[in-house]
Amino acid sequence: MAQNPLQVLQQISVLQTLMDMNQGLLMSLGVSHETLDAIVAILKKFDLHAKLTGAGMGGYAICLVPPNIHKSKIETCMQELKIYGFESNICTIGCPGVRIQTK
């Protein structure tokens, strides 16, 4: 688990890479959709990383927003998504998620 802000940003960078890899695999398997691929491309213009999520064939994209991103960048990105007819929402994680504990 990260102990300082630099470690947090390094871990986020790894997670961004993994999200990109996962979305690429989903596209290769044919379970993505051109609309979802368009959303991922828009987010990438803002240096944001996203992937398909949801049960079955997806239907939603999840985007990782790093803690050091400026609020105005998020607002601009959301405006661009809206221009293309995509709805977006800001969500936060309500729990720490999976973690490894050692004695």
Place of tokens 């991103």: 69
Four-CA torsion 70, 73, 75, 81, nearest 10 degrees: -150
Q: What pLDDT score was predicted for residue 95?
A: 80
pLDDT at 32: 86
Between 89 and 2, where is the model more confident? 89
Task: Name residues whose C-beta falls within 8 Å of residue 19's C-beta, 6 or more positions apart in sequence.
Answer: 49, 50, 51, 64
**Three-class SS state of 55:** coil
**Backbone phi and psi for residue 45, each to the nearest 5 degrees, phi listed first:** -60, -25
E strand or H helix that includes residue 27: helix 5-28
Percent of the chain with pLDDT over 70: 94
**Per-residue pLDDT reduced to its tens digit, 12-62:** 999 999 999 999 999 999 888 899 999 999 999 999 999 998 765 667 899
Closest CA to 67 of 17, 18, 9, 16: 9
Distance, in Å, from the CA atom of 16 to the CA atom of 49, rounded to the nearest integer, reads 6
